Structure 1
Amino acid sequence: MEQPPPQQTDYNKPQSKRERPAPLNTEPFRRPGTTPSDDEAFNRLLPIASAQRGMWMGEKIGPSDAVYKLAEYVDIGGDVDVPTFLKASQLLTKEAESTRVQIVETAEGARQLVNEQYPGEFPFLDFSAEDDAEAHALRWMNDEVSRPVDLEREALWLGVLIKLSEQRYFWYQRCHHITLDGFGGGLLARRLADIYNGLLAGGDIGESPFLPLVQQLEEEKAYRESSRIERDRDYWKSQLAGLPDAISLSQRSAPRSGGLRRSALVLSLERSAQLRDIAQQAGGSVPQLLISMLAAYTYRMSGQQDLVFGMPVTARVNRRLRSIPSMMANAVAIRLAMGDEQSLVELLGQTAKVVRSALRHQQYRYEELRRDLGLLGSGQQISWMGVNIEPFDYDFGFGGHHCSIHNLSNGTVEDMTVFVFDRGEKQGLHIVIDANPALYSQLELDEHRDRLGRLVEAMIQAPNSPIGDFDLLSADERRSQLQAWNDTESPLPAAFWPGLFEQSVAHFADRPVLSDASAVMSYRELADQVNPLCQLLRERGIGPGKVVAVALPRENCLPTALLAILKSGAAYLPLDPGTPAERVAMILEDARPDLILSSKDCQQGLPDTGVPCLLWESLTLSDYPARALPDVAIAGDMPAYIIYTSGSTGRPKGVVVPHLGLQNFLLAMQQSLSLTPDDSLLALTTVSFDIAVLELFLPMLAGARVHIASRDIARDPAALAAVIAEQGITTLQATPSHWQALLEEHGDVLQGIRPLVGGEALPTELAHRMRRLGQPLVNLYGPTETTI
C-alpha cells in the first residue's frame, strides 16, 4: 500500500554519521566498440537494486509476451505552451537519474547505466485534426505500451505530449518497471508540473527534490548489514507459519502467459465520499477500508477462511528513500481470518492492525521470503491474489488547468490483482481488475467486476451487516444457478446397473472385459461367474435389504463379487484389506453387514465380529448353472453400496448410494468420456474409495476392458508404467501425486493416454504437463477443459 509523496522536505539537511551508510563504488562506462566522448566520464555504471532483479529475470525467462511497462496519462483540460512543456520535460530528465537509466549486461551481471544525457526524445504528437482525437490517442498509447523495449539500447522512460485540441492535451508517461515504480512515477509527474509552472511564472523552478540512485543502493546496503533484516525475516516467517495453499479465482488450470487483461469501474463522488465517512467513523483509513472490502470479495468468491493475499508497498521507510524516483516497490503478505459473521467495520479493525504491522517490515524482499518458505518451484506462490491501493493525490495542474490521471498499464500480473486509484476527493475512486489472460476471459473478468461492484455497494449501505449476508449474484447468474444448472432432466433407461451389465454381456459377449496379473475374462465368462455366485448368495438369504461386506484381493474376483451382490438386490460394503484393523472394526460395527465375502489371506486382517464369512477359495460355483435366475425387482431408491468417509473431519460416516445414483453417475460419465469397446482402463483405486466405481464398472457399460492393478504394482511407478505399456491402457484415473510420480520418469509411456485426475488439488504445472500427453485432461474434482 503506497503512500503519497511528501509535500515539504528539506533535502539539503545533512544526515548524521550514524544514519549515513558506507558509500558504494561506481565506475565510468563506455559501450564496447565506441570511442571516448566528452560526456563519457559522467556515464556511471551501478549495480541493480534488489527490487530490480525480479524484473530483470522476468525479461530473461518470462513469457515472451509479458508486459513490464507501467503507463498512465494526465488529461490536461486547457491550453499548453508546447515549447515550455518540452523544456520542462528535458529539465526533469536532468534531475531524475532513473529517466536516463539503461540496463546493460557485464561480466559481473546486469548493471544500470546512468547516462549523462537522456537517451531518447521528447515527442509532441498532434492528433487534433483526427475525427476522434481521444480515441486516436488512446490507441497510440495502448499500442506503445504493448511494444517491447530493448533494455540496453532504448530509453526506458518516455514522456509524450499529445494534443487533442487547443484546450485539451494528454501527457503520456511510460517506463519499464525495472527503472521506476508507481510511487516514483508520481514523483516525476508532480515535479514536471512544478517545473512547467515555474517556467511559465518566470523561470524559477527551485532546487531538485531528488536524490541520486546511488543513495538507494547505499540505503539497501545499510539495511542488509543491519539487525533489522533479521527481525523482519523472523517476523514474516512467524506471520506465515502454516501458510495455506495459494488460491485463485480462475476457473481453469493453465500455464500463465503474458499480455494484459483489464476490467474497471469507477465509484461516484457520492459513493467515494461515503467510503471516506465509514473509514473515519470506524477509526481506520480509506486504504485499510478498501483492502477490507477486497478481502471480503475474495473470501466470498473462494470461501477461504485463512486468507492470504499480496499487497504492493513502496518499501520507502524514510525521507531519503521517498526522495528517489526509482524501482523500489516490494510486496507484503496480508493474512486475515475471515468468516461470514464479520461485518465490514469489524473486518476493518483486523485489517488495520495487520496492515500497520506489515508496513513496519516492508523492506524485506517478497522474493526472498518465498525462498525462505521453500516456494520457489514452478506453480508455488505465497498468494496468487493481490490488492494494490494507490492513494497518490495528483491534485496538481499544468498552467492552472484541471488535470485528471488515468492508469493504462501496471504490467502483466500472474493471476489477478485489484488496483484502487485514489486521486483525492475531487475524483471518484477508480477500481481496476488486472488479470492474466491465460486464466480469465474478458467475460469472466467483467463478471468479477460486476460482482465486486454489487458487494461494495451493499457494504456501503450496511457496513455493520455480516459480509456473508450480501448477495453477489446478478439476476442472470441467479437464474442460471437456480434454474438452468438444475435443469438436468434427462431420460434414463428402465434398467439399473445390473440390467445394464447384462445388456453389455449380450452385445459384447466375446470381447475381453476383465483382466488381472493371471487371467483375462470375456463378458460371457464374467457373467458365467456372476450368475452362479448370485444364486449362491440368494440361497443364503442375501437379497434386497441385506448388506454384504467384501474384503477381497485386487484380482478378477473382486468385481465379480460386487456384480453378483448387486444382481442379488443386496448392497455391498467395500473393505480395503490394507486398512488399519481399528477402522475396519468401526465400519463393521456401524454398518452391521449380514455376510462377509473374503479370501483366506484377506480374512486374517478382519476382526472377529461374529458375522458369517464366506471364503472365495471355498466357493463351488460349478455347482450352480451359469444361466441367470429371474431378476430381482430393483427400485431406484434401493441401496447399491455403502461407502465410508475418510474420517478426516471426525468419525467416519457411512454414505448409502442408491441404484438410481449409481445408474445416473455411470451414464453421465459415459456421456462425458465416450468410452468405446477399444478402450482399456486401468483400475488403481482401492475399492473403499468411491471413485473405484468408475474404474471397475464404467468400462463394462461401454464394451471396454478394465485391468486391475495389484496393490504392489499401484505403488511402484516403474511397475505401473510397464503394465500400462503391456496392457495397452488408453485411460488412466489417478491422484495428482500419483500422476506426478509417473510423469517424472515414465512420461513417454503415458503419451497418448487419456488422463483422468481427482482426489486432490491439481497443481497448475502438473495440469500443463498432463495436457502434453495429447488427450483432453479430465479433472473429476475441478474445472479443466472437460469437467465432470
Structure 2
Amino acid sequence: PSTPIEEIVASVYAEVLGVERVGADDDFFALGGNSLLATQVAARIGAALDARVPVRVIFEAATVAGLATKVEQHAGSGGRKALVAGPRPDRIPLSLAQQRMWFLNQFDPASSVYNIPAAIRLTGDLDVAALRQAVADLVARHEILRTIYPQTPDGPVQQVLAADEVPIGLAPARVDAADLSAAVTAVVAAGFDVTSEVPFRVELFEVASANADDPTEHVLAFVAHHISSDGWSMGPLTRDLVLAYEARSRGEAPAMAPLPVQYADYSLWQREVLGSESDPNSLISQQAEYWRGTLAALPDELPLPVDRPRPAQASYRGATFAFDIDADLHAGLEQLAQRHNSTLFMVVHAALAVLLARLSGTSDIAIGTPVAGRGEAELDDLIGMFVNTLVLRTEVEPGTPFDALLAEVRRTDVAAFGHADLPFERLVELLDPVRSAARHPLFQVMLVLQNMVQATLELPGLTVSGIDPQVSAAKFDLQITLAEQPGAQGLSVVIGYATDLFDESTVRNFASRFRRILTSIVADATAVVGDIDVLAPGERDQVLSAWNAPGAWVPGATLPDVIAEQAWLRPDAVAIRFGDTSLTFGQLQSRANRVARALIAQGAGPESVVAVAVSRTEELPVALLGVLTAGAAYLPIDTTYPVQRLEFMLGDAAPVCVLTTADERDAVPAGELPVVVLADAQDYSDAPVGDADRVAPLRPDNLAYVIYTSGSTGVPKGVGVAHRNVM
C-alpha cells in the first residue's frame, strides 16, 4: 500500500481475514472474503475514516487500491457514532433483536426452540474447582450471562445482576454411560423464563465406568437462550473459558484485557445509531423504506411439496439430513463465483432459489439468511445476541439463463447486506404479514453459509471432544447449512427440516435435486433455469412410462374428488391467492359446496353444462369448482367478447343455466336461461356433496368442461373434455 487510505484498507483486510500481508493489488474475495465479512470490512474502514462506508463498494472494487479510491470520497464525512461504554439510564432497554426473543419466550417459557446448546466430553484429570472458578470468571466477564429481563410498566428491561448473585454449583452428577444422552438433553432442552431466570445454564456430569483403571470422564453441558447469545458467541465463550481454566488450574486469576463494552452499552448505542422512525432521515427510517418496497406483496407461504398438511401450530420438532459436496464441485462453484464477480454464497443462493422455484411451481422466492451483526471491532470478543436475519427475494423465471439470474441475485444480496441494520423483528412488525403459529413469518427456508472459524477447546491435562446434544428444533420448514471442509476440500451440507411436514426420504430427494442443479450450473452457467434437469437418471422414463401407458389414469378420480381430498388432508393450506385475499382448501371447498347445491337446484348435473361468467378473482375458482362438484361441466364465458360470439356459444352449448356475479349479470346475453348469482348461493348448505345429492352419479367419463376455439372457418368450435382426460 502506498497511500494512508490504502494502508487502512490493507490493515482491515488482514485483521478480518486473518492474513499476515496484504498488497495493494490483493483482492478481498480472492483472499477468502465473503458477503458476510464484507459488512465487517465496511464498518471498520468507516470507523477509521469517520464515515459510513456502503458495503456495496467492496463488491464494486475489491482490491486494496480500488477500494481505497472508492472510499476516499467518504473519508471524514462523519455521521458515525463510536461504540463506547458510557452512562446508563436507570432502565436499560432491550436491543431490537432481543425484543422478539423476549416476546417469543413469554409466549412459551418452557420451549427450547431458541436454546443454543453445547456439550463437551472431558477425559483425564479434570480440576473441578478450577472449572467452577473458570465458569464464574466467564459470567463475571460477560454481563449478558447474568442479565434478566423483567417486565416493567415501560416494557421489558435489562437488569444486570452482580456476579455473586448467579449460583454456579458444578458439583459433578454421576450418571451411567447409557443414561448420559438423556441427562444432557434434559439440561439443554429445558426452557428459561427470562423475566426471572438468568438465560445461561451449565451442568457437569461424571460418567460412571465399570473399569477403575479407565481415565476419569466428565461431560460439561451448557446452554444459553438466544436472547443472550448467538452462534458467533461460541468463539469468545470458548476462548475465555479456556484462558480462565488454564489460569485457575495454576492457582492464578485469569489475566484477560477488560472488554471495551458490554451488551447493555451496545443496546443503547444501537438505538442511537438507528435513530427514530419518526425522523424520515434516520437510518432506521431509510432502511425500513427500502424493505417495504423490496418485500411488498410478498406471498405469505412458499408452497413446497410436503408429506403432511401443515398443522395449525408448529411443534418445532425437527431432524437433519447431511451430505457432502466433493472438492471438485466445490472448486467449480468457487470458480463460477469468481468469473461472475460474485461469492460462493451468491452462487448457492441462486441455485437454491432455482430448486425452490422448481419444487413449488412458483417464481417469487424468499429465502432467509443470518448476518453476524458484528461490524464494529468492539464486538469481536463479546457474547451477545447480535445476529440479524435478512430476507432475500428473487424472481425466478423459467426462461432466464442461470448467469443472468446470478447477476440479479448478486444485486439483491448486495443491496440486502447494505440494509442489514434494521432488525428482522422490527421488519416483521412494519410489514405486518398475516401471522400464523404454523409457519415462520416472511420466509420458511433459511440458507446459512458457515464462515466462522470453528472454536476449539484445549484444556491442560484433558482430552476434549464434542458431543451432539441431540436437540433438533426446527424454526423453519427447511434450513440448508453449508460449511467449508478444512483446506477448502469440499463442503458439508446439513438440511434441517420440520418433521411436521417432511419425511427424511423427501428431504433426501430435495438434496439430490439440489446437487444436480449445482453440477449443472458449474458445467454450463448459461443454462436456462427451467431446462436444468432435476430428475435422477431413469426417473424421467419411469414417470413418463407410468403416466402415459395406454389406458393409464387415476382410478375412479374426478376433479372434485382430488380437490375434496386436499380439503380433507390440509384444510388450512392456502389454495387460492388473489391480491391480498387468500382462500384455504377448506374455505374453497365449503364455498364450492354451496354453489354446487344452488346449481343442482337448477337441474345441473353430469353431462349438462353451466356457463360461468366470473372475472379472474378468488370467486372464479369457487364458481368452477362449484360446477364440477354439482357434477356438471363448466363453459367459461368472457364478457369482454363480442355479444354475437357469446350468443353463439350459449346457443350451441345449451347450458342449463348461467353462473355469474351481480356485477357481471347484465353483461351476459342470457336470454331465457336461468341465472344463478354467486352471492345467492350463501343460502345453501356447505355440507359435502356426493352422488346421492346429485341428479345422477358422477363418473370419470363425464364432461368436466367445454371450451370454444376460434374454429378453422371462423365459427367458434366447442371441444368437450372429460374428467378422465384431465386426470
Q: Say whether the fold is shared (TM-score over 0.5).
A: yes
Aligned mates of 2:543, 2:415 — CA distance in 1: 41
Highest CA radius of gyration, 1 or 2? 1
- In structure 2, the residue matched to 1:90 is 136
- In structure 1, the residue matched to 2:107 is 61
Aligned mates of 1:402, 1:344 — CA distance in 2: 45
- In structure 1, the residue matched to 2:157 is 111
Offset of residue 414 of structure 1 = 4.4
Aligned mates of 1:464, 1:125 — CA distance in 2: 60
Offset of residue 413 of structure 1 = 0.9
- In structure 2, the residue matched to 1:192 is 241
Offset of residue 123 of structure 1 = 3.4
Contact 1:420 1:432 (C-alpha < 8 Å) held by counterparts: yes
- In structure 2, the residue matched to 1:448 is 510
Q: Does 1:656 align with 2:719?
A: yes
Offset of residue 229 of structure 1 = 1.3
Q: Please give the secondary structure, in 2, of the residue aligned with 1:371.
A: helix
Q: Does 1:51 align with 2:51?
A: no
Aligned mates of 1:347, 1:280 — CA distance in 2: 15
Residue 228 of structure 2 is aligned with which of 179, 183, 186?
A: 179
Q: Does 1:285 align with 2:333?
A: no
Structure 1 residues not aligned, in runs of 5+ = 28-44, 494-513, 535-546, 553-561, 618-634, 646-652, 669-788
Offset of residue 210 of structure 1 = 5.9
Q: Does 1:385 align with 2:442?
A: no
Q: Please give the secondary structure, in 1, of the residue aligned with 2:496.
A: strand
Q: Does 1:308 align with 2:358?
A: no
- In structure 1, the residue matched to 2:185 is 142
Offset of residue 211 of structure 1 = 2.2
Write the deviation string for residues 723-757 of structure 1: whole angstroms up to 9, x where unpaired.
xxxxxxxxxxxxxxxxxxxxxxxxxxxxxxxxxxx
Aligned mates of 1:296, 1:126 — CA distance in 2: 50
Q: How does 1:221-236 map to 2 (within 5 A)?
A: 221-225=271-275, 227-236=282-291
- In structure 1, the residue matched to 2:116 is 70
- In structure 2, the residue matched to 1:432 is 494
- In structure 1, the residue matched to 2:576 is none
Contact 1:193 1:396 (C-alpha < 8 Å) held by counterparts: no
Change beyond 3 A, Cα 1:115–1:468:
same
Aligned mates of 2:700, 2:534 — CA distance in 1: 37
Contact 1:310 1:334 (C-alpha < 8 Å) held by counterparts: yes
Comparing 237-246 with 462-471, greater Cα deviation is found at 462-471
- Scaled by the length of structure 2, the TM-score of the pair is 0.61
Aligned mates of 1:46, 1:604 — CA distance in 2: 65
- In structure 2, the residue matched to 1:417 is 479
Comparing 352-361 with 280-289, greater Cα deviation is found at 280-289
Write the deviation string for residues 558-616 of structure 1: whole angstroms up to 9, x where unpaired.
xxxx99xx9xxxx988476xx736465554567983878889x99985559xxxx8778
Change beyond 3 A, Cα 1:169–1:353:
farther
Offset of residue 232 of structure 1 = 0.9
Write the deviation string for residues 24-58 of structure 1: whole angstroms up to 9, x where unpaired.
6444xxxxxxxxxxxxxxxxx63322211212221
Q: Please give the secondary structure, in 1, of the residue aligned with 2:448.
A: strand
Aligned mates of 1:65, 1:592 — CA distance in 2: 65
Contact 1:76 1:398 (C-alpha < 8 Å) held by counterparts: no
Contact 2:653 2:718 (C-alpha < 8 Å) held by counterparts: no
- In structure 1, the residue matched to 2:318 is 261
Q: Please give the secondary structure, in 2, of the residue aligned with 1:593.
A: helix
Offset of residue 199 of structure 1 = 5.9
Aligned mates of 2:445, 2:478 — CA distance in 1: 5
Aligned mates of 1:477, 1:127 — CA distance in 2: 53
Offset of residue 471 of structure 1 = 4.2
Q: How does 1:456-471 map to 2 (within 5 A)?
A: 456=518, 465-471=527-533
Change beyond 3 A, Cα 1:258–1:235:
same
Write the deviation string for residues 319-367 of structure 1: whole angstroms up to 9, x where unpaired.
2344432123221111223244656665444333322221221111223
- Scaled by the length of structure 1, the TM-score of the pair is 0.57
Contact 1:74 1:403 (C-alpha < 8 Å) held by counterparts: yes
Q: Please give the secondary structure, in 2, of the residue aligned with 1:433.
A: strand
- In structure 2, the residue matched to 1:123 is 170
Aligned mates of 1:162, 1:450 — CA distance in 2: 40
Q: How does 1:681-696 map to 2 (within 5 A)?
A: none
Offset of residue 412 of structure 1 = 4.2
Change beyond 3 A, Cα 1:640–1:179:
closer
Aligned mates of 1:616, 1:5 — CA distance in 2: 67
Write the deviation string for residues 149-183 of structure 1: whole angstroms up to 9, x where unpaired.
33345442134566777498765442111221222
- In structure 1, the residue matched to 2:357 is 299
Aligned mates of 1:125, 1:471 — CA distance in 2: 56
Q: Please give the secondary structure, in 2, of the residue aligned with 1:320.
A: helix
Comparing 590-599 with 222-231, greater Cα deviation is found at 590-599
- In structure 2, the residue matched to 1:249 is 304
Change beyond 3 A, Cα 1:2–1:146:
farther
- In structure 2, the residue matched to 1:708 is none
Q: Which residue identity is paired with 2:267?
A: L
Q: Does 1:642 align with 2:691?
A: no
Write the deviation string for residues 264-284 of structure 1: whole angstroms up to 9, x where unpaired.
314267365665555455543
Aligned mates of 1:364, 1:282 — CA distance in 2: 29
Aligned mates of 2:381, 2:665 — CA distance in 1: 78
Aligned residue pairs: how many?
Answer: 553
Write the deviation string for residues 489-509 of structure 1: whole angstroms up to 9, x where unpaired.
57889xxxxxxxxxxxxxxxx
Change beyond 3 A, Cα 1:424–1:212:
farther
Contact 1:78 1:402 (C-alpha < 8 Å) held by counterparts: no
Change beyond 3 A, Cα 1:68–1:479:
farther
Contact 1:418 1:434 (C-alpha < 8 Å) held by counterparts: yes
- In structure 1, the residue matched to 2:652 is 593
Aligned mates of 1:596, 1:269 — CA distance in 2: 62
- In structure 2, the residue matched to 1:214 is 264
Change beyond 3 A, Cα 1:469–1:221:
same
Change beyond 3 A, Cα 1:180–1:336:
same
Write the deviation string for residues 350-408 of structure 1: whole angstroms up to 9, x where unpaired.
33332222122111122332333341544793222222333211254414878669686
Q: Which residue identity is paired with 2:302?
A: I
Change beyond 3 A, Cα 1:143–1:307:
same
Change beyond 3 A, Cα 1:219–1:442:
same
Q: Which residue identity is paired with 1:215?
A: D
- In structure 1, the residue matched to 2:696 is none
